[in-house]
Amino acid sequence: MKRWFTLGLLLLSATSLLAKGVYQTPEAFIQAGFQGEPPTPKVIWLSQPLKETMTNILSHSYHGLRVRYWGKGNRTAWILNEVGKEKPITVGIIVHAGQLERVTILTFRESRGGEVRYPSFTDQFINAKLKNSHDLDKPIDGISGATLSVRAVEKTAKLALFLHQQTPFSNGKTQ
């Protein structure tokens, strides 16, 4: 009985270690998001009103002075980090015409909650838009045991949609 318990513990710790990793580099994500022709990165300098809205979306203050993004036509790409339970999760997000086109977990560093990297979770975000309340206009199903990771991904999706609205690419007139 003790052997089975030990074996079970080893298997559980091995599967949680397997959740950690780099699944796609930011460079590869940006390349794919713009069909191999990524635009030059751009920056949004964060004013106090922008930071206040970002604080409301994230439920904590954003400490940076600027946010880097890539934009072409009415598409923007964002590489954002948000802490799940203890460590940052790096998320790549493509916004097209004001709605989410792609949400991809690029790097997962937590010991639990790695299920957020699977398309069965991330595909729920496709076509989601931001309501005036800074909530998504569609529900996102959680994952048992991954609540904090789910929340982190949802926050980055909302933040990317909000930041997209602050760019000249939100109206599609900028090339």
- Over residues 27-59, the pLDDT tens digits come to 999 999 999 999 999 999 999 999 999 999 999
Q: Where are the beta strands (DSSP E) in the chain?
A: 21-22, 42-45, 66-72, 75-83, 88-96, 99-108
* Residue 14 in this model has a pLDDT that exceeds 90: no
pLDDT for res 143 = 95
**pLDDT tens across 103-137, in order?**
999 999 999 999 999 999 999 999 999 999 999 99
* Residue 96 in this model has a pLDDT that exceeds 50: yes
* Residue 16 in this model has a pLDDT that exceeds 50: no
Could you tell me the pLDDT band of residue 20, with boundaries at 50, 70 and 90?
confident
The residue among 137 and 1 whose pLDDT is bigger is: 137
> Could you tell me the CA-to-CA distances from 47 to 52, 56, 63, 65 in Å, in that order?
9, 14, 12, 8
**pLDDT tens across 52-69, in order?**
999 999 999 998 999 999
Closest CA to 161 of 103, 98, 80: 98
Q: Is 115 exposed, middle or buried, given 0-12, 13-18 or 19+ CB atoms closer than 10 A?
A: middle
Q: What are phi and psi of 21, to 5 degrees?
A: 155, 170
Give the residue extent of every domain in the chain: 2-171
Could you tell me the pLDDT band of residue 13, with boundaries at 50, 70 and 90?
very low
The average confidence (pLDDT) of the chain is: 90
Could you tell me the pLDDT band of residue 171, with boundaries at 50, 70 and 90?
confident
